[in-house]
Protein backbone atom coordinates (compact mmCIF):
# COMPACT_ATOMS: atom_id res chain seq x y z
CA UNK A 1 0.00 0.00 0.00
CA UNK A 2 1.42 3.38 -1.00
CA UNK A 3 1.47 6.22 1.50
CA UNK A 4 3.30 9.48 1.79
CA UNK A 5 4.74 11.41 -1.14
CA UNK A 6 6.83 9.54 -3.72
CA UNK A 7 9.47 10.37 -6.31
CA UNK A 8 11.25 7.90 -8.56
CA UNK A 9 13.35 6.33 -5.79
CA UNK A 10 12.29 7.74 -2.41
CA UNK A 11 9.19 8.30 -0.35
CA UNK A 12 8.57 10.97 2.27
CA UNK A 13 6.54 8.96 4.75
CA UNK A 14 4.80 10.11 7.91
CA UNK A 15 6.95 9.24 10.92
CA UNK A 16 5.75 6.09 12.65
CA UNK A 17 7.04 4.99 16.04
CA UNK A 18 7.09 1.27 15.22
CA UNK A 19 8.84 1.77 11.86
CA UNK A 20 11.16 4.72 12.50
CA UNK A 21 11.82 5.43 16.19
CA UNK A 22 14.76 3.06 16.79
CA UNK A 23 16.62 4.31 13.71
CA UNK A 24 16.07 7.93 14.77
CA UNK A 25 17.37 7.23 18.27
CA UNK A 26 20.44 5.45 16.88
CA UNK A 27 21.16 8.14 14.29
CA UNK A 28 21.03 11.10 16.71
CA UNK A 29 23.62 9.28 18.82
CA UNK A 30 25.91 8.30 15.92
CA UNK A 31 28.82 10.78 15.60
CA UNK A 32 29.22 9.93 11.90
CA UNK A 33 25.59 10.86 11.20
CA UNK A 34 25.63 14.03 13.30
CA UNK A 35 29.04 15.27 12.18
CA UNK A 36 27.47 18.15 10.22
CA UNK A 37 24.19 18.55 12.15
CA UNK A 38 23.29 20.97 14.95
CA UNK A 39 22.35 17.93 17.03
CA UNK A 40 24.31 14.97 18.29
CA UNK A 41 27.11 16.29 20.42
CA UNK A 42 25.21 15.48 23.61
CA UNK A 43 23.84 12.00 24.24
CA UNK A 44 20.13 11.67 23.50
CA UNK A 45 18.38 9.13 25.69
CA UNK A 46 15.29 7.17 24.78
CA UNK A 47 13.04 9.36 26.95
CA UNK A 48 14.25 12.59 25.36
CA UNK A 49 14.00 11.18 21.83
CA UNK A 50 10.55 9.80 22.63
CA UNK A 51 9.37 13.24 23.78
CA UNK A 52 10.76 14.83 20.58
CA UNK A 53 9.18 12.11 18.47
CA UNK A 54 5.78 12.60 20.12
CA UNK A 55 6.00 16.38 19.71
CA UNK A 56 6.98 16.16 16.02
CA UNK A 57 4.37 13.53 15.16
CA UNK A 58 1.63 15.23 17.15
CA UNK A 59 -0.57 18.11 16.12
CA UNK A 60 2.10 20.70 15.40
CA UNK A 61 1.45 23.69 13.18
CA UNK A 62 5.10 24.68 12.93
CA UNK A 63 6.85 21.44 11.94
CA UNK A 64 6.38 18.66 9.39
CA UNK A 65 8.71 15.68 9.77
CA UNK A 66 9.04 12.85 7.27
CA UNK A 67 10.97 9.61 7.22
CA UNK A 68 12.97 9.25 4.02
CA UNK A 69 12.34 5.74 2.75
CA UNK A 70 13.28 3.87 -0.36
CA UNK A 71 10.21 2.71 -2.27
CA UNK A 72 10.61 -0.77 -0.75
CA UNK A 73 10.05 0.80 2.71
CA UNK A 74 13.70 0.86 3.87
CA UNK A 75 14.13 3.81 6.24
CA UNK A 76 17.32 5.69 5.26
CA UNK A 77 16.95 9.15 6.82
CA UNK A 78 14.64 11.97 7.70
CA UNK A 79 13.70 15.38 6.48
CA UNK A 80 11.67 18.20 7.90
CA UNK A 81 10.13 21.58 7.45
CA UNK A 82 10.47 23.70 10.59
CA UNK A 83 9.49 27.13 11.83
CA UNK A 84 6.55 27.09 9.44
CA UNK A 85 5.03 30.52 9.01
CA UNK A 86 1.65 29.93 7.37
CA UNK A 87 0.65 33.56 7.08
CA UNK A 88 3.84 34.50 5.21
CA UNK A 89 4.12 31.09 3.46
CA UNK A 90 7.64 29.89 4.25
CA UNK A 91 9.56 27.43 6.37
CA UNK A 92 13.06 26.21 7.14
CA UNK A 93 14.14 22.83 5.79
CA UNK A 94 16.72 20.21 6.62
CA UNK A 95 17.46 16.54 6.20
CA UNK A 96 20.03 13.81 6.66
CA UNK A 97 20.72 10.32 5.40
CA UNK A 98 21.37 8.07 8.38
CA UNK A 99 22.44 4.89 6.57
CA UNK A 100 26.10 5.29 5.56
CA UNK A 101 25.82 3.08 2.46
CA UNK A 102 23.03 5.29 1.12
CA UNK A 103 25.02 8.54 1.25
CA UNK A 104 26.42 9.95 -1.97
CA UNK A 105 23.86 8.17 -4.16
CA UNK A 106 21.53 11.13 -4.75
CA UNK A 107 18.80 10.04 -2.34
CA UNK A 108 19.20 13.20 -0.24
CA UNK A 109 18.93 15.42 -3.31
CA UNK A 110 15.89 13.53 -4.56
CA UNK A 111 14.26 13.82 -1.12
CA UNK A 112 15.04 17.57 -1.05
CA UNK A 113 13.45 18.05 -4.47
CA UNK A 114 10.39 16.08 -3.39
CA UNK A 115 10.23 18.11 -0.17
CA UNK A 116 10.40 21.33 -2.25
CA UNK A 117 7.55 20.10 -4.46
CA UNK A 118 5.53 19.37 -1.30
CA UNK A 119 6.29 22.83 0.14
CA UNK A 120 5.33 24.71 -3.02
CA UNK A 121 2.51 22.57 -4.44
CA UNK A 122 0.89 21.15 -1.32
CA UNK A 123 1.55 23.79 1.33
CA UNK A 124 1.56 26.76 -1.05
CA UNK A 125 4.82 28.27 0.22
CA UNK A 126 6.54 31.27 -1.39
CA UNK A 127 10.02 30.20 -0.22
CA UNK A 128 11.94 27.67 1.79
CA UNK A 129 15.20 28.25 3.59
CA UNK A 130 17.96 25.94 4.68
CA UNK A 131 21.59 26.06 5.69
CA UNK A 132 24.73 24.08 6.31
CA UNK A 133 28.11 24.41 8.01
CA UNK A 134 31.15 25.54 6.06
CA UNK A 135 33.17 22.49 5.08
CA UNK A 136 30.10 20.30 4.53
CA UNK A 137 30.61 19.68 0.82
CA UNK A 138 27.85 17.06 0.56
CA UNK A 139 25.22 19.47 1.83
CA UNK A 140 26.57 22.22 -0.39
CA UNK A 141 26.24 20.00 -3.50
CA UNK A 142 22.81 18.72 -2.47
CA UNK A 143 21.52 22.24 -1.85
CA UNK A 144 22.77 23.44 -5.22
CA UNK A 145 21.32 20.43 -7.08
CA UNK A 146 17.96 20.95 -5.34
CA UNK A 147 17.94 24.60 -6.52
CA UNK A 148 18.83 26.45 -3.33
CA UNK A 149 21.08 29.49 -3.64
CA UNK A 150 23.32 31.02 -1.00
CA UNK A 151 21.90 34.27 0.34
CA UNK A 152 24.06 34.83 3.37
CA UNK A 153 26.74 33.60 5.68
CA UNK A 154 27.11 34.00 9.42
CA UNK A 155 30.84 33.74 10.21
CA UNK A 156 31.86 31.29 12.94
CA UNK A 157 28.29 30.88 14.23
CA UNK A 158 28.50 27.24 15.37
CA UNK A 159 31.10 25.27 17.28
CA UNK A 160 31.26 21.83 15.72
CA UNK A 161 33.93 19.19 16.17
CA UNK A 162 36.85 21.38 17.11
CA UNK A 163 36.19 24.56 15.13
CA UNK A 164 33.79 27.42 14.80
CA UNK A 165 31.95 26.96 11.52
CA UNK A 166 30.34 29.51 9.24
CA UNK A 167 26.61 29.00 8.79
CA UNK A 168 25.85 29.20 5.08
CA UNK A 169 22.23 30.27 4.58
CA UNK A 170 20.37 29.09 1.49
CA UNK A 171 17.03 29.88 -0.09
CA UNK A 172 14.74 28.38 -2.70
CA UNK A 173 11.90 30.60 -3.92
CA UNK A 174 8.78 29.41 -5.68
CA UNK A 175 9.87 31.38 -8.77
CA UNK A 176 13.27 29.67 -8.91
CA UNK A 177 11.70 26.28 -8.28
CA UNK A 178 9.21 26.90 -11.12
CA UNK A 179 12.04 28.01 -13.40
CA UNK A 180 14.04 24.83 -12.66
CA UNK A 181 11.19 22.33 -12.54
CA UNK A 182 8.41 23.89 -14.56
CA UNK A 183 6.21 23.13 -11.57
CA UNK A 184 6.65 19.42 -12.22
CA UNK A 185 8.11 16.67 -10.15
CA UNK A 186 11.71 16.81 -11.40
CA UNK A 187 13.78 14.18 -9.72
Say which residues have a Cβ less than 8 Å from residue 168's Cβ, sequence separation at least 6: 131, 132, 133, 134, 140, 150, 152, 153
* Separation of alpha carbons 33 and 103, rounded Å: 10
Of the candidates 50, 26, 43, 19, the one whose C-alpha atom is nearest the C-alpha of residue 98 is 26
pTM here is 0.93
Residue ranges covered by each domain of the chain: 5-14+63-181
pLDDT in tens, 114-167: 999 999 999 999 999 999 999 999 999 999 999 999 999 999 999 998 999 999
What is the CATH architecture of 5-14+63-181? 3-Layer(aba) Sandwich (3.40)
Q: Which residues in the chain show pLDDT less than 70?
A: 1-2, 186-187
Cα 173 from chain centre: 17
Amino acid sequence: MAYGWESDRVRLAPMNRARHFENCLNWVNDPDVTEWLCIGDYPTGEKSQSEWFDRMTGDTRTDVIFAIELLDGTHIGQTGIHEINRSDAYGSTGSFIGVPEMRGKGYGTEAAKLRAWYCFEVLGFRMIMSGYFSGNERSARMSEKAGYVEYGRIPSQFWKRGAYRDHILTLLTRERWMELSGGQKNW
